[in-house]
Structure 1
Amino acid sequence: MIYVDADACPVKAEVERVADRHKVKVFMVANGGLRPSPNPLVEMVYVPDGPDVADMWIAERATKGDVVITGDIPLAAKCVEAGSRVLRHNGEAFTPGNIGNLLATRDLMADLRAADPFRQGGGRPFSKADRSRFLDALERALQAARKEGNA
């Protein structure tokens, strides 16, 4: 299965296209505001408003052999710990080998932003190259998950 942290996810259409090709069930999880997909493999899951409600829904269900798409590092950490393959929107994989450093960096940056209210966050814009890397990474993650037997 594929779980998508769908609020502000720029690759929903790509996930659906790849999942359709592999005939894999997709859960698009959001607080609302997303149009339902006519694809029978895609289930829209609307969770109540609240901090991290969508993240908790995904974390409670994702297991070994599943693929999770998120930009949320704490959610990624929970899913990696559960054995899921986890991808960012740009195709970067969260793994047991890098999740600790990513969490530490996230916490450090949060502390720096709190100490300097004029420090602005934000990264570079999402590009065609990011989209291409994501498609390749999702294809590889699904193939690996199939070998594990769940996706």
Structure 2
Amino acid sequence: MSENPRLTGPMPALRELMTLTVRVRHQLARRAGLSETELLALDHLSTGVRGPAELARLLDVSTPAATGIVDRLERRGHALRRAHEADRRRTEVHMTQTGRVEVRAQLEPMLEAMRDLDAGFSQEELDVVERYLRGAQGAMRALLDEQPESEAR
């Protein structure tokens, strides 16, 4: 692909990273025997307990679709449902240790390489990289927020 003159500085590298991220997610899901949405659900569950409606919102799927995703993750032993401690009518979805081991096994080689990469930068350099990436995230979030509701689904 030819260089896009509108992409300056680190933008071509960021664009390639975004493309690789999609390919990596596809490959990781395939290796783990999961759909990409199931893998993404595990990623969300790895950061904390989620309710089914919250999981549906994060995955940009309907609540019934999220229920099916959680059903499949439960059958594989990667997630489980529990009644909410304070409100027994509500359900929480938890990632199991088996789910954590599966995700960790798939990601560990990449995470180790990235830790090694981080070690080669000074704290000041890492701060600049983080500032750039946070700004790129903000630009992407603004694009998502600007989409008409009919296209955001």
TM class, shorter-length: under 0.3
* TM-score normalised by L of structure 1: 0.26
Q: Which has the higher helix share?
A: 2
Q: Which has the higher strand share?
A: 1
Larger Rg: 2
